[in-house]
Amino acid sequence: MLAALCFAACTKSNDKMVNEQMNKWDKVFPLSEKVNHQKVSFETQYGFTLVADMYMPADVQRDNVQCTKLPALAVSGPFGATKEQSSGLYAMKMAERGFVALAFDPSFTGESSGEPRRTASPDINTEDFMAAVDFLSKLPKVDANRIGIIGICGWGGIALNAAAADPRIKATVASTMYDMTRVSGNGYFDSADNETARYEARQALAAQRLTDPQSMAGGVIDPLPDDAPQFVKDYYDYYKTPRGYHARSGNSNDGWRVIGTQAYANSRFLYYINEIRSAVLIMHGENAHSRYFGEAAYHFMVDGKAEGYKTVGAPNPCPENKELLIIPGASHCDLYDGGYTEPAGKGEAKNLIPWDKLAEFFNKNLK
C-alpha cells in the first residue's frame, strides 16, 4: 500500500497532479521546477505513522527515460522543526542533484502521529530515521544499497546515532549539529556538567510530572530581549520571521512539553560512533555557537576520545571516509537555509550551504 503512494517506476509525468501539489504548497521555500513532489507516509516499529515530503528529479518521470534505480536520502531536523522548513529544503536541493529525497516529520511532531504532542525520545527518534530507510529501501525507483541520511541541528546527533546502529546507512551528513543528549544533561557549553545541577534539574522535572505534565515551555523566545545572545537572535530570525516561520513548527510557536525531552538528559547518543564504518561528513559554520558539538563528535568518531566525552573507545576502523567541514563566516542558523542578509527573513538570500559538495560526498560514498 505504501509503495502505491510513491513514485511508480518510469511512469508518465502527471501534470494535473503536479499542479494540484503546487496549489497546496505550504513550505517556507519555493518549489523547484527541477523536481517533482509528493506527500507520503510510512510506519515505524513503535506504531507511529510518519508523514513526509518526497522529492524526485523531474526528468526521471519524463517520457522515454530509461528505468534506473537512484540513490536516496532521508532528511530530518532541526530539533522541533518540521518538514516544511529546513529539512524540506535540503531534500529538494538533493533531488535537484539526482537523489530521491525524503523529508519527514518525526514522531509526535508536525503531521506525524504520536500523543502527547511535542515529545521526544532517544530511541523513538533514532527509529524514525531507520524506519525512513525501511521505506526508501522498498521503493521501485530506489537502490536499496545506496541510501544515506542527513540530520540538521539536533537531528545531526540523532543521525549519527542511527548510522552507528544501522549499517544499511551508507553515508551520513550531520549539518550544524547539536548533541541533544549532551546539552540536555550538561547545559550549554557544559556549564551544568555536575551532579548537583543535574540532581536539581531532575527534582524539578519529577515535580512537574505530578503537577502539570502537559505544560509547554521553550520554543524561540518572543518578544526578543535586546540583550539576547546572538545565537538566540539567530533562532528568532529564522523561526519567527517569514524566512522560516511555520504554523506546525514547535520552534516557531509554543516549544515542547516541559517533560517532553526528559529522557534525553539521562542518555548519551554518541557512545558507539567511533565504530561507524560508513562515510560521515560533519558540517558546521565557523561562527556557530554549536560548533563544539560537531568538532567533539568528529574527534570521538575518529579517535575514540574527545573533550566533553567521559568514555574512551578504540580509534575508528575506517577513518579515511570521515570529514569535518567548517563553512567560513557561517552561523548556526545559516546552515538551515543558506543564510540571509539583514533584516532577517526580508533581505537577500546568501548561499552558505555547499549543495554541490554534499552531492559529491553522497555520490562518492553511496556505491
More confident position, 66 or 190: 190
Mean pLDDT lowest among 18-22, 254-258, 317-321: 18-22
pLDDT at 254: 85
How far is residue 11 CA from its own chain's centroid? 30
The CA–CA distances, whole Å, from 117 to 250, 261, 311 equal 10, 11, 33
How far is residue 74 CA from its own chain's centroid? 9
In three state form, how does the secondary structure of the chain look?
CHHHHCCCCCCCCCHHHHHHHHHCCCCCCCCCCCEEEEEEEEECCCCCEEEEEEEEEHHHHCCCCCCCCEEEEEEECCCCCCCCCHHHHHHHHHHHCCCEEEEECCCCCCCCCCCCCCCCCHHHHHHHHHHHHHHHHCCCCEEEEEEEEEEECHHHHHHHHHHHHCCCEEEEEEECCCCHHHHHHHCHHHCCCCHHHHHHHHHHHHHHHHHCCCCEECCCCCCCCCCCCHHHHHHHHHHCCCCCCCCCCCCCCCCEECCCCHHHHCCCCCCCHHHCCCEEEEEEECCCCCHHHHHHHHHHHHHCCCCCCCCCCCCCCCHHHEEEEEECCCCCCHHHHCCECCCCCCCCECCCCCHHHHHHHHHHHCC
Query: How far, in Å, CA of 162 to CA of 182, rounded?
Result: 16
pTM for this prediction: 0.92
The residues with which 279 forms a beta bridge, in sequence order, are 171
* Band of residue 367 on the pLDDT scale cut at 50, 70, 90: confident
C-alpha cell at 140: 521501485
Mean pLDDT of 235-251: 95
Mean pLDDT of 174-184: 96
Cell 527515460, residue?
65
Residues 96, 68: contact at Cβ < 8 Å? no
Mean pLDDT of 223-246: 94
Query: How far, in Å, CA of 213 to CA of 205, rounded?
Result: 9
pLDDT in tens, 271-311: 999 999 999 999 999 999 999 999 999 999 999 999 888 88
Query: How far, in Å, CA of 52 to CA of 88, rounded?
Result: 9
Cis peptide, bond prior to residue 343, ω within 30 of zero = yes
Residues 365, 170: contact at Cβ < 8 Å? yes
Query: How far, in Å, CA of 332 to CA of 93, rounded?
Result: 19
pLDDT in tens, 44-95: 999 999 999 999 999 886 544 556 899 999 999 999 999 999 999 999 999 9
pLDDT at 343: 62
Query: How far, in Å, CA of 163 to CA of 159, rounded?
Result: 6
How far is residue 357 CA from its own chain's centroid? 18
pLDDT at 297: 97
- Say how many Å lie between the first and final Cα of the chain, rounded: 29
